[in-house]
Chain A
Amino acid sequence: MKPGMREPGRLDVSELPTFGFGHRSLMWWGTFGLMLIEGMIFALTIAAYFYLRSHSVTWPMNAAPPELLWGTVNTAVLLASMLPNHLAKQAAEKLDLKKVRIWMVVCLLFSLVFLGIRVLEFTSLNTRWDSQAYGSVVWMLMALHTTHLVTDAYDSAVLTVLMFTGPLEGKRYVDVSENAMYWYFVVLSWLPIYAVIYWAPRF
């Protein structure tokens, strides 16, 4: 059994590292669990969307499909934000504080941009939550994902501040790396939602 037993009856672990990245760390599994939950919620809401659609003659119900412009722009921005996010993750795993600071700030700027655009998206949905079931489920999807954008942006903001002010220790780099993983999730889960909200009504 590694690391070796010095004397029988004793398993000495004092040389083990005090933190590690990826699925070695508890934080990774915590984040993974949250991602499963939220992924499930998105999946069910999308299922509800198509369930309602299957019970309706016209789709979208007496409303025009959402305009593509802002949604598409935002998708691009979100995808682009994965680059600084990735670099922040790498820097964190190299324990490179300077780079971490830089890329976290860049990520924050991105998050401000896509939150701004998200507001415009809501204005271009062409339906209200209380006009019919179609509007309700579209707004539900958008609201759910926006909640994730906001919380993730806020998490990153707090973490960034911490990276500048300290107090710092090794496991904070793990936090940065897990925060980046969660960011991936928020971006990638947007793609199916984008397809459903903006393209499903067009087919």
Chain B
Amino acid sequence: MKARIQVVLCKCCTEMPKLLNMEKLQKLAEDSSMVVSVMTVDAVCDGKDLARIVGEAKEREIDRAVVLACHKKDISPNLLKAYRRAGINEFLIELVNMREEVVLPHADEPERAQAKAETKLKAALTRAIMLAPLEKQSEEMKTKNVVIVGAGVAGQAAAHEAAKSGAHTVLLEKTSKSLKVPGVIMTHAQLVGASGYGGNFQLKIKAGEKVEELGAAAVVIATGGGWTTLKGPLAKAVKDAVPLYKFYEHMQSGMVPKGPVVIVDTPDPAGKTMKVQDYAWDDTLETVIQLKKKHPELLVYVIFQEMRAFGLSELAYKEAADLGVRFIRYDKAGAPKIDAKNPIALTVKDFSQGEVLDLKFGTLVFASIPANQDNQMIADALRIPMTVDGSIRRGSIQRWPVTTPKPGIFVCGSALFPKSRELAKAEGEAAGTMAGQFVKRGMIEYGGSVAQVTPEKCSACLTCIRTCPYEAPFIGAANKAEIKVQACQGCGMCVGICPSKAIDLHHYTDDQVMEEARTLLGGDF
């Protein structure tokens, strides 16, 4: 293996404080094989020095470099750009974090620090020789479509925001409600299948009876809560019980509710688990206040396990109480019951007062927001994770709050977690913006440090396919695993788990990792 290596030592990072013996390091570098140029610069982050480095690199026609500097994240952008100008592939540049790994933490032990630095240099050189050039590719997004599943508060907000950054929004709505939002609106439509990857999805959408294909660059999941799927003894006992949002709509439309009105947090208060569905408190309080203001004579009860009047809705809580709304807290033991034979009275034990109450009611309202049943179908179609209680699971917060683990798929509102209208709207806007920005790029960047399969070794055991969070591996025409490069994020999970060692990760191949480790362990410090 022939190579022409340039070694760059950054004084700013590796010398300050005066700890390491730069001359020795330089000497070591010069003496190692295949090193054609060694430079010591004041600061690699400094434009002038970068220019010098590049000049030298061109002149000595080096083909790879080892840079001893500081934290990768800080220097790599400019450094790599500079080297690209010198026509050197970014994956042939090995950055060594001398500053944070050697100089700073070992300030009191110069000898050991020096030895460690030298070993790290050796390791970097070993690795540099093994590095291979990699090209990043890009692919045009075929459409500007942002498909938004669900046209609730969050969905509509998302549509508005996405449209602002020039995306074509397609809103899928299960019912036939008419809306004023930009873009296409498909009623009676459901997402039933999907293929592809962030930027170029192929979605199967069931509109009415027929199923049609639709290309999409990004997907926003805004299915909201599963209001319609209220389950539990109370719901069973009282046929005409309504979910909160319905009650609210009726109220807006000027309908006078049959009193007294009883609002219960969940239809399954004595449920096996300690399940208290995060009851849309702000909405409930808003509703009862309006109700009380409209009809002061009406008796209104709110029955709950946990009063989650977050933030400013605490004030609404007070206001409601002052208006004469009766709040009753219960616990498992005294959970509300309704005699199915005469479903007009509800028995509940007021926990704080300890008395058992018999409440006659005209209207029974449930404020809980169960997880939406459709989530399962959608998560299945898009192959994204869910939580145990049936809502969509958000990806790592390292990425962003409203994202799923899969790039290009965003999620907002009660699909993630039961929320109030107001917050759902904000999340919708956030998700919409992100989707819009994602589409605006118009290109998918991919490749580089991604996984690759050696077909001869593959046993098509499907382990990689089951393990990958991004659906990148698939079984190709040759009945061997292949990697969908556009979907691969380069985490290497499939590589680590492949029982036949048929997959390897570019830039972090087994040999590269183990050789580096070996060299590092070779040093004595």
Q: Do A and B come from one complex?
A: no
